[in-house]
Amino acid sequence: MSDHIKTPGPMGASPRCGARTRAGGACRSPAVHGKKRCRMHGGAPGSGAPTANQNARKHGLFTREAFAERREIRALLGEARKLLEEMK
Ligand SMILES: [Zn+2]
């Protein structure tokens, strides 16, 4: 026996769209899987910018390379700090 009708919890707990509607509120339709918007608000398959789209890039502060560089610098600083601590 299916208990689907009696357990709509997972369906209601799915991520919601949240786009602003003409009525002023937020759209509460379920967001398309893997996207933040529903099928009517930009979540449709094939919509949106292609992956690794460079058209909106302004400064590169959030590129994978920049993240990696900062991570390495942080690690190096941590090592240096540890070394200084040991020398005390
Ligand atoms: Zn929507």
Cα of 29 vs centre of ligand 1, distance in Å, is 5
Cα of 34 vs centre of ligand 1, distance in Å, is 14
Stated pTM of the model: 0.47
Of all residues in the chain, the percent with pLDDT exceeding 70 is 93
pLDDT tens by residue, 30-47 = 999 888 999 999 988 888
pLDDT tens by residue, 39-88 = 999 988 888 887 777 887 889 898 899 999 999 999 999 999 999 999 98
Of all residues in the chain, the percent with pLDDT exceeding 90 is 55
Cα of 19 vs centre of ligand 1, distance in Å, is 5
- Cα–Cα distances (Å) from 1 to 4, 6, 16, 53, in that order, read 9, 11, 29, 48
Cα of 15 vs centre of ligand 1, distance in Å, is 11
Query: Phi/psi of residue 70, each to 5°?
Result: -65, -35
